[in-house]
Amino acid sequence: MTDGPDINAKRIRGFLEVINRHYPFAATRVEYINMKTGIGVDVQIKQLLKSSQGRVDAVYFVPAYTDGFLEGLEAYDYHQVITLLHDVNDHALRCLENGLLTAIVFQDPILQGYTAVRTLETILESKTRERQRDIEIAHTLIFRENVNYLKNHYFLPEPE
């Protein structure tokens, strides 16, 4: 157990708060993956997608096991379902571009790194051990229409 934040718990809690506040009529169901069973994570994810096929309007996938999730979306008919996840990789971008994935929540690692360095700088310069204020990380929703944002974002010129 670490002292750090449980980012997945924060993600799902925030998501449910927004849904309950703005869409109180929407029925939500949270499913968890058991990491302690002998069944692999990807297998459990695919089993959940198979059992939910045709019974859900949207799927929000929180943890970083995107390959099993994306493979499950491809294996079962989820083209008419709103699908959302967090981590950006080539597989997710392909699914976004072909319409299988609706959106990716992009948490800019460059901004996060910059914020971490600035926080460390503040602590070192002030020579204080007091707790620093919480930092809000800006998120960007990436859709098929703005997927070039990611492609341009990661473009860095080669040093001469």
Domains of the chain, residue spans: 7-153
Mean pLDDT, the chain, whole residue set: 80
Q: What are φ and ψ of residue 144, in 5° steps? A: -55, -35
For residue 23, the model assigns a pLDDT of: 92
For residue 156, the model assigns a pLDDT of: 47
Indicate whether this model's pTM tops 0.75: no
Supply the CATH classification number for the domain 7-153.
Answer: 3.40.50.2300
DSSP-derived secondary structure letter, 146: G
The candidate with the shortest Cα–Cα distance to 51, out of 34, 29, 18, is 29
Q: Which residues of the chain have pLDDT under 70?
A: 1-5, 108-116, 129-139, 149-160
Instruction: Work out the angle at residue 66's Cα, subtended by the Cα atoms of residues 152 and 139, and round it to the nearest 5 degrees.
Output: 45
- Is the distance from CB of 137 to CB of 111 less than 8 angstroms? yes
Two structure tokens written together for 13 = 């809690």
Give residue-wise pLDDT tens across range 1-14: 456 667 788 888 88
CB within 8 Å of 7: residues ≥ 6 apart: none
